[in-house]
Amino acid sequence: MALVAIDGPGGSGKSTVAAALAKRLGWERLDTGAMYRAVALLALRHQVGVFDGPALAGLARAMELDVGERIVLDGEDVTTEIRSEAVDAVVSPISAHPAVRAELVARQRAWAAEHQTAVVEGRDIGSVVLPDAVLKVYLDAHPEVRAARRAGQRETALDAALSAALARRDAADSTREHAPLHVAADALLIDSSELGVEEVVERLLAALEERGVRP
> Which residue ranges make up the site for ligand DC (CB under 6 A)?
10, 32-33, 36-37, 91-92, 95, 122-125, 169, 173
Minimum distance between the CB of residue 192 and ligand DC, rounded to whole angstroms? 14
Closer residue to ligand DC in complex, CB, 27/36? 36
Residues 6+ apart with CB under 8 A from 136: 4, 5, 7, 125, 126, 184, 186, 187, 188
Closer residue to ligand DC in complex, CB, 123/149? 123
**Is the Cβ–Cβ distance between 65 and 72 less than 8 Å?**
yes
How far CA 117 is from CA of 4, 111, 203, in Å, comes to 8, 10, 19
Closer residue to ligand DC in complex, CB, 107/202? 107
Residues 6+ apart with CB under 8 A from 64: 73, 74, 75
Minimum distance between the CB of residue 43 and ligand DC, rounded to whole angstroms? 13
Minimum distance between the CB of residue 5 and ligand DC, rounded to whole angstroms? 10
Minimum distance between the CB of residue 10 and ligand DC, rounded to whole angstroms? 4
